[in-house]
Amino acid sequence: MNEADIKANWYYFRSLSNQLHRINRQEKMLNASTFSNEFAKILMLASSEFEVISKLICREAGIKLPWNANIVSITKTLLLKYPKIGDTKVYTPYIEFQPLKEWKIIKEK
């Protein structure tokens, strides 16, 4: 991943963060007990971006994923390679948190 890729992903993250903040403020003003389609859209976009970034991390680590890798196989791969990834803290203007703290390998049936 080069500097341009990192910047593009960072700006996309900031865009999603700003959208979430804007929607959160609107929801508080309109109806705090419901969630809008905009909020659902942001969650879907963030989930998709997480998968893309996870695949990039695998590629940068020299890990070859199958062409049809899903989030379950990506999870297994990353958590075995980076078992302390859940300790990573994320800082935003709104909150500091560990988004991957509870990330675990799911046993398939």
| Dihedral over alpha carbons 63, 65, 71, 75 (to 10 degrees) | -30
pTM: 0.72
pLDDT digits (tens, 9 = 90+) for 27-58: 555 555 556 677 788 888 888 888 888 998 89
Mean pLDDT of 73-97: 89
If we measure between CA atoms, which residue out of 12, 14, 23, 7 comes closest to residue 93?
14
List pLDDT tens digits, range 16-29: 878 877 776 665 55
DSSP 45: H
Q: Compute the distance between CA of residue 109 and CA of residue 104 in angstroms, rounded to an integer.
A: 15
Choose among 103, 49, 52: nearest CA to 81: 103
